[in-house]
């Protein structure tokens, strides 16, 4: 009898351990994340997360559906209170706002432990996520500024070659304007819903094409009131004021609408409008990397990255789960490419899924030429200020020296604070 | 144990206002006091606060963006306030008439006020859109050349004022018509018997008897105009090149995009002091005029 009881207890214990064990296996690890994608991008992102959740049963990604119009305000507050989710999506140019405060985890060791082969990433965007040689985020995509050309208008104007130099660009734009009556270059130069960021993006790209970075090495002073700056500014101003191939007062939404409706020959914008243009019936266009207007290729780019916030106490299991998610998402970048963005991982680009997407392959190599935004927390303010300043000087047709001197003063003032 | 009636009353007052008071203290009193405190610090939310004394205030007066934003705000207040008040008053004159048109127009005039800032902003941004907007389509249809309603620095602020007028005049109408309804009918009857025309009735009876209402409307409108933000943010984003950027927008950007909380607080306090000053002057004027 005693033996029987003993056996029964042993059996019971065994069963309960097994069932506890089974529960541990079956109950997936819940990992929370925030992303900032709305509208077109959002659908693709949500679909990817869903597919990740379905692809395995160890991890479940959960998001709170909050409004993302004040994403960084909410994120900053959450990071300050150490209540941020396990993984967050963040633009690369925001990293320098957060990293110095120690609210993001350095990821090098975790990436290694999770077996993420960092050499499969395009090195330019990956290096842009490093601060003081430590990796603080893993890039999901780059979204560089590129050039869109309306092939029908090109044909109508008798242009057979896409412009590659500055003079070819202006000649092509003038020819289109003369022969077809359409706008030469749709590039926003006035604030409406958005600031005239395209001017800034082109300006930064043109500077970098001449090997010049917008700030000095330690980000304490402006570095554009020089020959390279004059050339870049002059090109933008000429586009509007001299050759008049871009209408004055064009805002972002109009520039997109003009190209979309076939009213403009050339359009400069980020890759994110590709999807929109594709859906436009009758629009026959090509999207190529930003031309090497000053000799070498360089393109301003934004980059969506994944970062892991530091929590009150670090839960290694969750961090590793998050890394697994990041690994999967970057590896499946071809799904994300449907939104127009360029995947950062060679393993995502070298797939037939990616190669079968129209247009994307034409500008996929743009990822090689992206450069980092200056690693200073002042960057968001400088970016806005440069946009306002370029917009003003071009609208008032200021000469390059005056325009750049004014802009230099304002920027130096901000960097000093 | 029984309490005296007065004690009961006191207790009840406290009890019933407690929910409101809690929210009021948490979301109004505390932030105001904390904002004042913050204005003496350098803080980006994530960093430790560094006491800087009056540096933020000094900075504001040498910051061209603050000064220009302040100027644009004054510009908006000066132009929009009388317009919105006068139009609201005229609306009220139409709406108080005890006819069907009166009642319908009251609803029509008030409807826009019920819309949110973003709806109004987006709506007018589209109406004034340069290439595809309704306003320019109308201009083109009568053979006029289109205007850069929101992209031409010389008229962008006017466009914002037009949108604001359409949106908020209805609120002043409600205040005015409430005031008008309180004027005893007998006064008008007496005036009629004395042979006063409608213009005389308006200038000698309606307007003088609405003095208190007008003062209230004026103060509320000035405060509301100083706080202009949403419609500018949505319609022009402060552009073209910062020519319509208003103070609250700059405070918002500084605080929540650039995370300079101390400086943003200091600028808010400066705005608060201006509004306070204007309100005090308005209310001090009142006894003098009634004497």
**What is the rounded distance in angstroms from the CA atom of residue A334 to the CA atom of residue A344?**
10
Indicate yes or no: CB of B234 within 8 angstroms of CB of A388.
Answer: no
Residue B154 placed within a domain: yes
Cα A294 to the center of its chain, rounded Å:
23
Highest mean pLDDT: which range of A28-37, A190-199, A395-404, B4-13: A395-404
For residues B249 and A17, the model is more confident at B249
* Tens digits of residue pLDDT in B25-45: 999 999 999 999 999 999 988
The arithmetic mean of pLDDT across residues B270-277, rounded, is 93
Return the domain boundaries, chain A: 30-142+302-369, 145-300+374-416
* Tens digits of residue pLDDT in A83-101: 899 999 999 999 998 998 8
pLDDT at A417 exceeding the cut of 90: no
pLDDT of residue B10: 85
Residue B41 placed within a domain: no
| A379 DSSP β-pair partners | none
Share of chain B above pLDDT 70, in %: 96
pLDDT of residue A363: 86
Residue B33 placed within a domain: no
What radius of gyration do chain B's Cα atoms show?
Answer: 24
pLDDT at B290 exceeding the cut of 80: no
Domain that holds residue B176: 63-259
* Tens digits of residue pLDDT in A359-368: 888 888 887 8
Give CA separation, B229 vs A238, B78, B210, B260, in Å: 35, 16, 30, 19
DSSP A258-274: HHHTT-EEEEEEEGGGH
* Tens digits of residue pLDDT in A228-261: 999 999 999 999 999 999 999 898 988 999 999 9
| Range with lowest mean pLDDT among A242-246, A265-269, A290-294, B131-135 | B131-135
DSSP alpha helix (H) spans, chain B: 5-24, 30-38, 55-62, 64-95, 100-110, 117-127, 134-141, 156-182, 185-193, 198-201, 207-209, 211-226, 230-235, 247-252, 261-290
pLDDT at A183 exceeding the cut of 80: yes
pLDDT of residue B11: 87
- Scan for tokens 């500024």, then name that residue: A145
The arithmetic mean of pLDDT across residues A217-224, rounded, is 94
For residues B160 and A295, the model is more confident at B160
pLDDT at A53 exceeding the cut of 70: yes
pLDDT at A403 exceeding the cut of 90: yes
Indicate yes or no: CB of A254 within 8 angstroms of CB of B259.
Answer: no
Residues sharing a CB contact under 8 Å with residue B159, sequence separation 6 or more, in sequence order: B124, B128, B149, B150, B235, B236
- Scan for tokens 């510009």, then name that residue: B75
Tokens of A33: 């994340």
**Domain A30-142+302-369 CATH superfamily:** Periplasmic binding protein-like II (3.40.190.10)
The count of other CB atoms within 10 Å of the CB of residue A123 is 12
**What is the rounded distance in angstroms from the CA atom of residue A200 to the CA atom of residue A198?**
5
pLDDT at B84 exceeding the cut of 60: yes
A80 three-class SS: helix
Residue B3 placed within a domain: no
Look at chain B and report how many structural domains it folds into: 1
DSSP alpha helix (H) spans, A222-345: 227-237, 252-260, 274-278, 316-331, 333-336
- In 3D space, the residue among B285, B275, B272, B166 whose CA is nearest the CA of residue B214 turns out to be B285
- Which of B46, B64, B234 lies closest to A98 in CB terms? B46
The arithmetic mean of pLDDT across residues A211-218, rounded, is 94
Tokens of A321: 């789960």
* B127 neighbourhood in chain A, CB within 8 Å: none
> Environment class of residue A151 by beta-carbon count within 10 Å: exposed (0-12), middle (13-18) or buried (19+)?
middle
- Scan for tokens 């990956």, then name that residue: A126
- Which of B46, B148, B256 lies closest to A79 in CB terms? B46
Disruptive mutation site among B38, B242, B261, B263 for chain A (greatest number of A CBs within 10 Å): B242
- A157-182 core/surface letters (b: 16 or more CB in 10 A; e: else): bebeebbeebeebbbbbbbbbeebeb
Give CA separation, A232 vs A227, A228, A266, B81, in Å: 9, 6, 18, 44
CATH of the domain at B238: 1.10.3720.10
Residues sharing a CB contact under 8 Å with residue A397, sequence separation 6 or more, in sequence order: A237, A241
Is B49 in the A-facing interface, judged by CB distances under 8 Å? no
Whether the CB-CB separation of B165 and B120 falls below 8 Å is answered with no
Cα A78 to the center of its chain, rounded Å:
23
Indicate yes or no: CB of A249 within 8 angstroms of CB of B151.
Answer: yes
- Which of B64, B150, B242 lies closest to A192 in CB terms? B150
pLDDT of residue A1: 47
pLDDT at B3 exceeding the cut of 80: no
First to last CA, chain B: 52
pLDDT of residue A98: 92
Share of chain A above pLDDT 70, in %: 92
pLDDT of residue A40: 66
pTM of the model: 0.84
Tokens of A198: 């395209």
* A410 neighbourhood in chain B, CB within 8 Å: 64
**What is the rounded distance in angstroms from the CA atom of residue A289 to the CA atom of residue A303?**
16
- Work out whether the CA dihedral A384, A386, A389, A391 comes out positive or negative: negative
pLDDT at A123 exceeding the cut of 80: yes
**What is the rounded distance in angstroms from the CA atom of residue A280 to the CA atom of residue B42?**
49
Is B101 in the A-facing interface, judged by CB distances under 8 Å? no
pLDDT at A122 exceeding the cut of 80: yes
Whether the CB-CB separation of A308 and A140 falls below 8 Å is answered with no
Residue B245 placed within a domain: yes
Whether the CB-CB separation of B41 and B49 falls below 8 Å is answered with yes
CATH classification for the domain delimited by A145-300+374-416, as one of 3.40.640.10, 3.40.190.10, 3.40.50.620, 3.40.50.300: 3.40.190.10
Indicate yes or no: CB of A80 within 8 angstroms of CB of B237.
Answer: no
* B130 neighbourhood in chain A, CB within 8 Å: 249-251, 254
pLDDT band at B149 (very low <50, low <70, confident <90, very high): very high
């Amino acid at each position: 009898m005693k033996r029987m009881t003993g056996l029964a207890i042993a059996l019971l214990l065994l069963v309960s351990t097994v069932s506890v064990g089974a529960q541990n296996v079956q109950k997936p690890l819940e990992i929370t994340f925030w992303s900032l994608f709305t509208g077109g991008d959002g659908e693709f992102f949500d679909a990817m997360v869903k597919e990740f959740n379905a692809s395995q049963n160890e991890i479940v990604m959960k998001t709170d559906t909050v409004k993302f119009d004040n994403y960084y305000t909410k994120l900053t507050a959450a990071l300050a209170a150490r209540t941020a989710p396990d993984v967050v999506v963040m633009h690369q140019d925001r990293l320098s706002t957060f990293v110095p405060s120690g609210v993001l985890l350095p990821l090098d060791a975790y990436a290694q432990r999770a077996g993420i082969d960092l050499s499969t990433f395009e090195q330019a965007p990956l290096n842009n996520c490093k601060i003081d040689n430590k990796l603080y985020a893993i890039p999901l995509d780059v979204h560089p500024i590129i050039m869109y050309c309306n092939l029908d208008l090109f044909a109508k104007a008798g242009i057979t070659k896409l412009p590659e130099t500055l003079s070819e660009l202006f000649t092509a734009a003038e020819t289109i304007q003369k022969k077809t009556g359409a706008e030469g270059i749709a590039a926003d130069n006035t604030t409406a819903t958005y600031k005239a960021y395209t001017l800034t993006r082109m300006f930064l790209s043109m500077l970098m094409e001449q090997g010049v970075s917008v700030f000095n090495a330690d980000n304490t002073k402006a570095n554009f009131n020089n020959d390279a700056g004059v050339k870049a500014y002059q090109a933008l101003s000429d586009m509007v004021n001299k050759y008049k191939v871009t209408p004055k007062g064009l805002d972002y939404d109009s520039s997109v609408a003009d190209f979309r409706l076939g009213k403009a020959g050339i359009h400069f914008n980020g890759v994110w409008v590709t999807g929109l243009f594709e859906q436009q019936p009758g629009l026959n266009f090509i999207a190529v990397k930003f031309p090497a207007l000053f000799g070498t290729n360089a393109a301003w780019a934004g980059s969506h990255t994944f970062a892991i916030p530091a929590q009150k106490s670090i839960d290694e299991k969750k961090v590793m789960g998050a890394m697994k998610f990041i690994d999967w998402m970057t590896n499946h970048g071809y799904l994300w490419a449907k939104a127009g963005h360029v995947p950062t991982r060679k393993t995502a680009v070298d797939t037939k899924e990616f190669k079968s997407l129209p247009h994307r392959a034409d500008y996929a190599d743009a990822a090689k030429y992206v450069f980092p935004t200056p690693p200073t927390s002042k960057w968001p303010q400088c970016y806005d200020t440069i946009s306002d300043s370029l917009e003003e000087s071009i609208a008032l047709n200021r000469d390059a020296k005056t325009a750049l001197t004014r802009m230099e003063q304002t920027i130096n003032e901000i960097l000093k604070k | 144990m029984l309490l005296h009636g007065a004690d009961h009353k006191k207790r009840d007052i406290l009890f019933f206002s407690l929910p409101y008071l809690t929210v009021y203290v948490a979301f109004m009193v505390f932030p105001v006091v904390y904002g004042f405190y913050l204005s003496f610090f350098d803080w980006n939310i994530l960093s430790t606060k560094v006491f800087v004394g009056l540096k933020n205030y000094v900075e504001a007066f040498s910051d061209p963006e603050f000064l220009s934003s302040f100027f644009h705000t004054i510009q908006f207040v000066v132009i929009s306030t009388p317009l919105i008040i006068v139009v609201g008053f005229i609306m009220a004159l139409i709406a108080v008439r005890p006819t069907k048109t009166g009642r319908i127009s009251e609803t029509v005039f008030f409807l826009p006020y019920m819309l949110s800032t973003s709806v109004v902003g987006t709506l007018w941004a589209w109406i004034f859109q340069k290439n595809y907007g309704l306003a320019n389509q109308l201009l083109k249809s009568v053979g006029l050349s289109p205007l850069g309603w929101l992209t031409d620095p010389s008229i962008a602020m006017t466009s914002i004022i037009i949108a604001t007028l359409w949106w908020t005049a209805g609120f002043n109408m409600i205040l005015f018509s409430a005031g008008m309804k309180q004027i005893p009918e007998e006064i008008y009857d007496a005036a009629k018997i004395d042979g006063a025309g409608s213009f005389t009735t308006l200038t000698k009876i309606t307007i003088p008897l609405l003095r208190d209402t007008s003062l209230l409307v004026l103060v509320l409108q000035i405060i509301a105009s100083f706080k202009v933000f949403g419609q500018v943010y949505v319609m022009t984003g402060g552009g073209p090149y910062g020519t319509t950027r208003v103070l609250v927008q700059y405070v918002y950007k500084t605080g929540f995009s650039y995370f300079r909380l101390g400086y943003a607080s200091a600028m808010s306090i400066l705005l608060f002091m201006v509004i306070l000053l204007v309100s005090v002057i308005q209310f001090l004027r009142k006894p003098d005029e009634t004497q």
